[in-house]
Structures are given as C-alpha cells and as structure tokens.
Amino acid sequence: MNDLILVILLAGVVVLSTATAFTRDPGRQALVYGGYGLVLGVTMVALQAPDVALSQIAVGAAIVPLIVVLTVTKVNRVLEQHRRARERR
C-alpha cells in the first residue's frame, strides 16, 4: 500500500516537473511550479521527511511563485517602456 502511494506521487512529480519546464509563459509557469512544489512536498512526507516537506511547501508554494509573479509584472512594464522609447526614435 505504501509502495502504491509512493509510485502515484512519483508519477505526479514526473508529470508536473515536465509541465513546469515546458510552460513557456513565466506567469503561468509560476503557478505550475507551485503545484509541483506541493506534490514534491507530499512525496517528501511519504519518504518520512516531515522537516524537509515543511521547508519545501513553505518555500516552493509560497515564496518562489510570489517573487516570480512580481518579477514578471515589473519586467513586462520595463519592456513595454523600452518598446515605446524605441518606437519614438
């Protein structure tokens, strides 16, 4: 039974990691990465590592998607400004 749970979680890890790498838009990729972090955290609990799972879920599902989305917001605005400056020239 434990083996079955571990196999299902590892399959989830494979699917979500592939999805994260191949989602081109960084804004959407942040959300997929958050989901991947969550499934990885549950896998860590299945591997009897609650400390690490706590770290992983707090960091991978909360902090990293937050700063990625903030970066994307800022970068899009900066690139828009550059584009308009180039058109004016």
Residues of the shown chain interacting with other proteins in the complex, contacts defined by CB under 8 A: 3-4, 6-7, 10, 13-14, 17-18, 20-26, 29-30, 33, 36-37, 40, 43-44, 47-52, 54-56, 58-60, 62-64, 66-68, 70-75, 77-86
Q: How far is the CB of 33 from other proteins (least distance, A)?
A: 5
* C-alpha dist (Å) from residue 78 to 4, 9, 71, 75, 83: 48, 40, 10, 5, 9
Residue 28 and residue 32: Cα distance in Å, rounded?
7
Q: How far is the CB of 17 from other proteins (least distance, A)?
A: 4
Residues shown for the chain: 89
Q: How far is the CB of 89 from other proteins (least distance, A)?
A: 9
> Terminal CA-to-CA distance of the chain, rounded, Å?
67
